[in-house]
Structure 1
Amino acid sequence: MKKTTLLNAPLSHCIATLGHTDSITICDAGLPIPAQVERIDLALTAGVPNFLQTLDVVINEMFVERAVIAEEIKTKNPHILTALLSRFNQLEASQGNKIQLEFVPHETFKQHSQNSKAIVRTGECSPYANVILYSGVPF
């Protein structure tokens, strides 16, 4: 059995096969997921697992270089934004790099997510709890 935190086999495989600048999207229960993008559906019921729990496990396994977030989160979900930014600050310290953050309109976010290697659907039921994480390299 795997020793690290992430036990979900499809998600673990996805992260293990990311190359530099590849991306994965972690989303709330409502983000549309196009048929051509791999769907890793973790949602069990409303709130389970939540967005931040899922993010924590993913960033524990993934070297993050850049992140894209919908602009609307600033006014529609400031609680999640504050927690997200705090996690990125901690991740920068542990990785030893500056994570480039980009805020885009939600429609643009949805277009960018279509280029992700996979979209990870959580049970999160709060607005704009979505992020696209771009893989960096730890060297």
Structure 2
Amino acid sequence: MLKNIPSIVSPDLLKILMEMGHGDEIVISDGNFPAAAMAQRLVRLDGHGVPDILEAILALMPLDIYVEEPVALMEVVKGDSYVPEIWDTYKKIIEEKEGQKKIAHEERFAFYERAKKAYAVVATGETSLYANIILKKGVVV
């Protein structure tokens, strides 16, 4: 056991966060995302939602301050009328942990290509649609 590590952070996730360097990216994916097909390194946290995992990761890992948009979301597919309310939750968590940050919106297949290059993918049981998020790691000062 360790102190001050959020309990939702598994040993595998903690190891990956420690291995990541400045500029590496991590995807936190919803339950519909093809995580196993995309991941170079896969962490399964199926019983949890993205907001709790996002909050736990940002308690341990800073976002990159040297890029304009250190966070990316999968944008809604053209013609889909769904409004991802979960994005407001993400903005609130990010603002509380890291201050105000610009967030990119990536087209679905561009998001997939970026996810394939990410250091790791965290697969969750999140049921909200368009709940996938990419975080770019910053430096610890």
Quick one: which amino acid aligns to residue 16 of structure 1?
M
- Distance in 1 of aligned mates of 2:85 and 2:25: 24
Aligned to 2:61: 62
Task: Between 4-13 and 16-25, report the one with greater CA deviation.
Answer: 4-13
What TM-score do you get using the length of structure 2 for normalisation? 0.83
Matches within 5 A, 1:103-118: 103-118=105-120
The answer to whether the 8 A contact 1:67-1:101 is kept is yes
| Change in CA separation of 1:26 and 1:36 when aligned onto 2, cut-off 3 Å | closer
Secondary structure at 1:107 match in 2: helix
| Change in CA separation of 1:36 and 1:101 when aligned onto 2, cut-off 3 Å | closer
Aligned to 1:84: 90
Q: Note the C-alpha offset of 1:100.
A: 3.7
Secondary structure at 2:48 match in 1: coil
Secondary structure at 1:13 match in 2: helix
Q: Note the C-alpha offset of 1:72.
A: 1.2
Query: How big is the alpha-carbon RMSD for the aligned residues of Structure 1 and Structure 2?
Result: 2.0
Among the aligned pairs, what percent are the same residue? 24
Aligned to 1:39: 42
Listed one character per residue, the Cα deviations across residues 35-72 of structure 1 (whole Å, up to 9, x for unaligned) are 661110111xxxx3111111111111111121111121
- Distance in 2 of aligned mates of 1:29 and 1:79: 16
Secondary structure at 1:60 match in 2: helix
Matches within 5 A, 1:88-99: 88-93=94-99, 99=101
Secondary structure at 2:90 match in 1: helix
| Change in CA separation of 1:121 and 1:36 when aligned onto 2, cut-off 3 Å | closer
- Distance in 2 of aligned mates of 1:123 and 1:77: 19
- Distance in 2 of aligned mates of 1:28 and 1:78: 12
Structure 1 unaligned regions, length at least 5: none
Quick one: which amino acid aligns to residue 42 of structure 1?
L
- Distance in 2 of aligned mates of 1:137 and 1:16: 12
- Distance in 1 of aligned mates of 2:19 and 2:127: 29
Aligned to 2:67: none
Q: Note the C-alpha offset of 1:25.
A: 0.4
| Change in CA separation of 1:81 and 1:37 when aligned onto 2, cut-off 3 Å | same
The answer to whether the 8 A contact 2:48-2:124 is kept is yes
